Chains A and B, each alone.
Chain A
Amino acid sequence: MLQRIIDLLFEFREYVLLTVLVVVSLGLLALNDNPQVKVLRSATSVVFGLVQEQVSFIPSYFGLKGENAILRRQNVEYRDEAYRMREDKLENLRLKNLLGLKEESPRRYLAANIVGKNLTLLRNTLTLDVGATDSVREQMPVVNESGLVGMVVATTDNYAIVNILLNTDFRASVKIQRSRVDGMLAWDGTTLMVKNVPKTRDVKPGDVVMTSDYSSLFPDGIRVGLVEEVQDPVSSLFKTIKVKPSVDFVTLEEVFILEHRLSEERRALEQRVMEIAR
């Protein structure tokens, strides 16, 4: 076999010699760093690449074992890298959501950590590590990157208590984002619901529920949750709309207190109208 190859090479020795010398010349040219040569160099790379591609199967027969080991090691490295990238992506998403919430609104937020949770009663509350000395006042809305958490109901110098959505004392004026239907958000002890929505209004499962402009406590446009179920009970004029809150209260660890104050002018006007009505 070897002899046959040698004979073949000898038979075409002129061409073999030419090829070798041309390759050596091109190799020498590749050592140059002139712009003219770069064009030739790139063309040479293409030609060499094509040749390499055609003969790339040769080493795979002789070095399958080594190649397999390299590929296995690379596979582990890539898997590890993919895992780390996934972690980074999740972290990035969470931080982006936090920042996005801030960027979308000129409102001021005060970050707070949850130091206590009470999620087993009808009046579920959170205890935050900020208080009156941090300018936290009662009736301030509390949010996180997912949406509305609740409202501050009591403060001491360094702590604040928050009534979360899942509290029978909690109320919020809300609207259905798609159809702009208004209602009142309340928790009956087992289910979060949007109340006072007539049966004729358009509400569907999957609709987004947000705080309404009509609220005197919450700024509008804060996400509250998704409509989970819509019923039209025979005995009532209103729909029964079950809502799944956007916030996961079980895993909640940090929140933002929104420094939202209703306009004094609006507050005075509304109060005056109420007094006249009485």
Chain B
Amino acid sequence: MRQQEHILVSVVVVVVLLLLQSTFIPLISLLGVVPDLLLIWLVYIALRRGQIEATVAGFAAGLLQDIVATKFLGLAALAKTVTGFILGYFYNENTTEATLGSYRFTLLVLLAGFIHNLLYFFIFLQNADEVVLVRTIGLSLAHAIYSAVIAILVMFLFSRRFRTAAFE
């Protein structure tokens, strides 16, 4: 039952984040670069739940994102699946809360963003006019940094929450 609840909550969160991603986030884009809310959530899932759930969550969230936002069905699913799998290596149930409430969370978002966007844009920019590799790395970094900046806010939220919980 708990597992089903968790899945249901995850689905709701993903849908809400997708809505925000497609409505609110474009308003804060910088030169076309936007943070990826689903990626931040994926890092959270990986740190909280481990590799298998992060892989599945990455695939599911990516697939939904593909259906809703991108024009390549399967592209975000592929990128987020691989990213979720790699993030799973950072799972440690003893240090989850500490990681979520510290700069390590931001760094993980940065890493995840870079991996995800590298994979995503490498495929997306195939047959493009510019030198694909340079553009891919540049875009990957830009998106990852922006996501990491947003992740700082999330990190402060987690930090406050865990600190309050510790005092209680």
Contacts and interface: CB of A to CB of B under 8 A. Distances in A.
Interface of A: 13-14, 17-18, 21-22, 24-32, 34-37, 39-40
Contact of B78 (A22, A36, A39): A22
B77 to A, nearest CB: 4
B55 interface: yes
A40 B82 CA distance: 16
B103 to A, nearest CB: 27
A208 B59 CA distance: 79
B59 A21 contact: yes
Interface of B is mostly: helix
A22 B81 contact: yes
A32 B74 contact: yes
A244 B34 CA distance: 89
A25 B78 CA distance: 5
A35 B127 contact: yes
B77 A25 contact: yes
B55 A17 contact: yes
A40 B74 CA distance: 12
B66 A28 contact: yes
5 contacts: A21-B56, A25-B78, A32-B72, A34-B72, A36-B126
B124 interface: yes
Contacts of A40: 123, 126
A24 B55 CA distance: 13
B125 interface: yes
Interface in B19-76: 51-52, 55-56, 58-59, 62-63, 66, 71-75
B105 interface: no
Given A26-B74, A37-B72, A39-B126, A14 B82 contact: no
A26 B78 contact: yes
B56 A31 contact: no
Interface of A is mostly: helix
A14 B59 contact: no
A15 to B, nearest CB: 9
Interface of B: 51-52, 55-56, 58-59, 62-63, 66, 71-75, 77-78, 81-82, 85, 88, 123-128
Contact of A39 (B51, B81, B82, B127): B127
A37 B124 CA distance: 8
Contacts of B55: 14, 17-18, 21
A39 B124 CA distance: 10
A32 B73 contact: yes
B127 A29 contact: no
Nearest to A14: B51
Contact of A14 (B52, B62, B75, B127): B52
A173 B72 CA distance: 81
Given A25-B81, A35-B126, A35-B127, 15 more contacts: A13-B52, A14-B88, A17-B52, A18-B85, A21-B58, A22-B81, A24-B74, A28-B77, A29-B72, A29-B78, A29-B123, A32-B73, A34-B72, A36-B72, A37-B126
Contacts of A30: 74
Contacts of A24: 59, 74, 77
A81 B56 CA distance: 53
Contacts of B71: 32, 34
A29 B125 CA distance: 14
A221 to B, nearest CB: 59
Contacts of A14: 51-52, 55, 85, 88
A36 B62 CA distance: 18
A17 B52 CA distance: 8
Contact of B73 (A18, A21, A31): A31
Contacts of B58: 21
Contact of B127 (A28, A32, A36): A36
A22 B80 CA distance: 10
Contact of B75 (A13, A29, A39): A29
